Amino acid sequence: MRFSVENIEVNFPAPAGDLLPALGPISFEVADDQFVCLLGPSGCGKSTLIRVLAGLLPPSAGAAYCDGELIQHPLAGAAIMFQDTNLMPWRTVLDNIALPLEIAGMSRPERYRAVRKLLPQLNLENFELAYPAELSGGMAQRVSLGRVIVQQPRVWLLDEPFAALDALTREALSLELLRLRARSLQTIILVTHDINEAVLLADRVIVMSRRPGRLVADIPIDLPRPRLAEMIYQHEFLQLAKQIRGCIEDQRA
């Protein structure tokens, strides 16, 4: 699925009665099956942008299109991964991952079968009856990822999914994300404030300014795939990272 963002602006009502500009205006396009990272300082409106693309928040001005159609409602075929794990604490791992299928009206045995098929790839085989509170941060995030994958979405909208994790877990999960994605191609839009993560994962990095977030740079990442953890020490990788950092520092000055 491809996306087209045209002069989107989002303002929030401020306590005094006037409007607080939170995002934009910003315009860009995302091609079919592209992996795009939205990179920017915290508070720049990247999460807001994801919510607009997901159809959860109508923009104050401008319009977003998916495959040429105006986004007005949550998109069928798009799955969101939220900032923290956003799991239901009263549901087991199995039931949390199965939630989208349950809402879609799938019978219990059917959806459990579908989820159980997925658990080995997520390294969660022995935890299907555990509750979220009993899981480590990384495991909980894998459950959250499982809840996305089980929907077999054509678009993944990922809002800083690994922000709460330690660096090592985070890198491992990022690569796992790529591995899981490799089986079938999807359009992925991932929000992050981590330059290395963006370069390692994306086909393209869109750098955003501080609030209200505008487009600062649109940098293609033509590193070979599959991406590997060692790549971050390679020259090309470092060059790209440096270039992106430069864009961020330019607008900070």
Tell me how far apart the alpha carbons of residues 163 and 70 are, in angstroms, rounded to a whole number: 30
Using the minimum distance from each CB to other proteins, give the nearer residue, 90 or 233: 90
Among 13, 15, 90, 235, binds other proteins (CB under 8 A): 90
Using the minimum distance from each CB to other proteins, give the nearer residue, 139 or 240: 139
Tell me how far apart the alpha carbons of residues 248 and 193 are, in angstroms, rounded to a whole number: 11
Using the minimum distance from each CB to other proteins, give the nearer residue, 188 or 248: 188
Using DSSP's 3-state secondary structure scheme, residue 41 falls into: coil
Within 13-52, the residues that bind other proteins by CB under 8 A are: 51
Within 169-208, the residues that bind other proteins by CB under 8 A are: none
DSSP state of 242: H
Q: Are 190 and 158 in contact (CB under 8 A)?
A: yes
Q: Does 106 bind other proteins (CB under 8 A)?
A: no
Tell me how far apart the alpha carbons of residues 37 and 145 are, in angstroms, rounded to a whole number: 17
Least distance (Å) between residue 56 CB and other proteins: 5
Q: Does 100 bind other proteins (CB under 8 A)?
A: yes
Binding span for other proteins by CB under 8 A among 28-36, 58-66, 101-109, 195-203: 101-109
Least distance (Å) between residue 135 CB and other proteins: 10
Q: Does 134 bind other proteins (CB under 8 A)?
A: yes
Tell me how far apart the alpha carbons of residues 152 and 157 are, in angstroms, rounded to a whole number: 13
E strands, the chain, in order: 3-13, 19-30, 35-39, 61-66, 69-70, 78-81, 155-159, 187-192, 204-208, 215-220
| Binding flags for other proteins, 48-77, as an x/- string (CB under 8 A) | ---x--xxx----------------xx-x-
Q: Are 145 and 186 in contact (CB under 8 A)?
A: no
**Which residues form the interface with other proteins (CB under 8 A)?**
51, 54-56, 73-74, 76, 78-80, 82-84, 86, 88-91, 99-100, 102-104, 131-134
